[in-house]
Amino acid sequence: MLVLASASPRRSELLTQAGFAFRVHPANIPEDPAPGEDPIAYVTRLARQKAEAVFQQLSPDHPEIAVLGADTTVTLDDLILGKPDSPADAARMLRLLSGRTHRVITGVSLITHSRTLAAAEVTAVQFHSIADAEIEAYILTGEPLDKAGAYAIQGRAACWIPRIHGCYFNVVGLPIALVRNLLDTLPPRAGLELHHPEQAPTTPDQPPSQSTSQ
């Protein structure tokens, strides 16, 4: 049984789109970075802690369980931009990102009874300059308020992003190819059904409207 330790609808949608069979069991852990913590270390730690919390709850009753944890953040230079805590905080983040290239980092962790795996994906995202009026209108939609870096590449913020370099799905919230690579390292298990029988276990093609050259 594959379990996603996340309440993110975007991660569930991506796993479903890729043909994975899974259950959702969110983890509730503090998401503050430790002092001086590197962004990659930060997201991989949170991904592991989320997976560990759910694994401890469910594993006694499910010997074949595999728990997937993930956490995504946006970084600009050495600054970590998580989810905004207010509309004003969202506006601050978007002004910082305006006209610059930043990194989106997702840490992924997979835990079973026999192993704990962790990895991270990094994507560079370029932003056009954004007028204050555009930022204010975007915040009024509510879209940026639960997103790392205060934007959704698959939403209205798409018009500000001329190009990315790396995995598009990572920016949405889950690097599907990386997840599949981790799952492929697991030995065959009688009780671990990873794919819907009616769907091929393939990673979706990247949307043609997004360029990955930089």
Instruction: State how far the Cα of 159 lies from the Cα of 70, in Å rounded to an integer.
Output: 26
Residue 190: how many CA atoms within 13 Å on its side-chain side? 1
Q: Are 83 and 46 in contact (CB under 8 A)?
A: no
Instruction: State how far the Cα of 132 lies from the Cα of 94, in Å rounded to an integer.
Output: 9
Name the active-site residue from 38, 61, 71, 146.
71
Q: Are 3 and 27 in contact (CB under 8 A)?
A: no
Is residue 213 classed exposed, middle or buried when 0-12, 13-18 and 19+ CB atoms within 10 A define those classes?
Answer: exposed
Give yes or no: 71 in active site: yes
Q: Are 164 and 211 in contact (CB under 8 A)?
A: yes
C-alpha 89, offset from chain centre: 20
Is residue 209 classed exposed, middle or buried when 0-12, 13-18 and 19+ CB atoms within 10 A define those classes?
Answer: exposed
Q: Are 110 and 174 in contact (CB under 8 A)?
A: no
Which residues are the active-site residues? 71
